[in-house]
Amino acid sequence: MTGGRRSIAAAALVAALVAALPACRGGSPISTDPRHPIFRSAGAEFGRIRGVRLHFKSVTTHSGQGDDLVRAVFADSLRAHLAPRFGEVTEGDAAAEGGALLEVTLRVNWGSRAARYFVSFGAGRAGIDIQYDLKDPAGALLAKLHVVDTMSGGWFGGNAKELVYSAAEKWNRWFVESVLVDAPRAPPQAD
């Protein structure tokens, strides 16, 4: 082989290896082990669920400010994503017969806008910890999502409330469209 052909062959080999690497990550991020942060019961039949009750177990912010905003944003987003697939979405602490209960726990750290602006490099990072447990009427866990999303930066340090809106949209859509279906998909990247 000449030098030029070797270079092309080496480049092709490297490209093939790079293309194959995602397949080596261990498959789907969705596990059938309930200890995993993204879980879905192997026997769950999500297509049979008719109606979801939302139960906000806990919504807290490190400053004690904005709890109502966080709850309202997530409630609206969950309703918008769950209703087309499962029908009526109401609030309650128990699943109706044939339905499911989604227990929601949210923890927000607003971070420091000044640190995000003046220091940068991840200082003052805002974060949100999202935990969903979807249960059947008997209380058996059907699916679970536990993720932490963050933001740093933005115009003049950014507004951490933007994190609440973007995280609600991104993770609620992904949970409903990718975990609560028969063909799971990889999760979006946390910012």
pLDDT tens by residue, 49-68: 999 999 999 988 877 877 79
Residue 188 has pLDDT above 80, yes or no: no
pLDDT band for 120, please (50, 70, 90 cuts). Answer: low
Confidence of residue 124 (pLDDT cuts 50, 70, 90): low
Class of 29-179 in CATH = alpha beta
Q: What is the pLDDT of residue 153?
A: 47
Is pLDDT at 126 greater than 70 in this prediction? Answer: yes
**Angle CA 53–58–64, to nearest 5:** 140
**Can you give the pLDDT at residue 140?**
95
Global pTM value: 0.74
Among 43-47, 55-59, 82-86, 110-114, the minimum mean pLDDT is found in 110-114
| 119 CB-near residues (< 8 Å, 6+ apart) | none
The pLDDT-based confidence of 23 (bands split at 50, 70, 90) is: very low
Closest CA to 145 of 184, 109, 110, 111: 184
What value does the mean pLDDT take over residues 12-28?
Answer: 40
Q: Which two tokens stand for residue 52?
A: 């979801």
